[in-house]
């Protein structure tokens, strides 16, 4: 299992479009992927769970992946977050 904690820099937080981008990215991997905010865990393969985190600009998010391609999954999601979901 691998985890990486980041600070959400997307000005609008994780709304519907970023949630869909996270889901589509997660679907490319065999690993189980979760997002964690303040102890609340969301399956990255469930758009409603991602939205339910209510993640806003400045929140800390932990990306957790467990499986055969966990390193690649985390790195890809970090890129998506770093691009701020192309939401500028």
Which CATH number characterizes residue 79's domain? 3.30.1340.10
Look up the pTM and report it: 0.94
The yes-or-no answer on residue 15 being catalytic is yes
Catalytic residue among 15, 25, 32, 87: 15
Residue 21 above 70 pLDDT?
A: yes
Could you tell me the pLDDT band of residue 86, with boundaries at 50, 70 and 90? confident
Task: Supply the mean pLDDT for the chain.
Answer: 96
What was the pLDDT predicted at 61? Answer: 98
State the residue range of the domain holding 29: 2-86
How many structural domains comprise the chain?
1
Closest by alpha carbon to 63, among 12, 87, 29? Answer: 29
Model confidence at 88, pLDDT cuts 50, 70, 90, reads: low
| Phi, then psi, of 61 in degrees rounded to 5 | -125, 130
Q: What are phi and psi of 64, to 5 degrees?
A: -120, 130
Assess contact for 4 and 63: CB atoms under 8 A: yes
- Taking residues 42-67, report their average pLDDT: 98
Which pLDDT value is given to residue 87? 75
CA 17, CA 2: separation in Å to the nearest integer?
25
């Amino acid at each position: 299992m691998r985890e990486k904690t980041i600070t959400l820099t997307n000005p609008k937080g994780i709304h519907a479009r970023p949630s869909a981008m996270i889901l589509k990215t997660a679907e490319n991997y065999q690993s189980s992927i979760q997002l964690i905010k303040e102890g609340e865990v969301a399956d990255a393969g469930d758009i409603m769970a991602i939205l339910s985190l209510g993640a806003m600009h400045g929140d800390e998010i932990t990306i957790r992946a467990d499986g055969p391609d966990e390193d690649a999954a985390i790195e890809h999601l970090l890129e998506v977050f770093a691009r701020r979901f192309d939401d500028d």
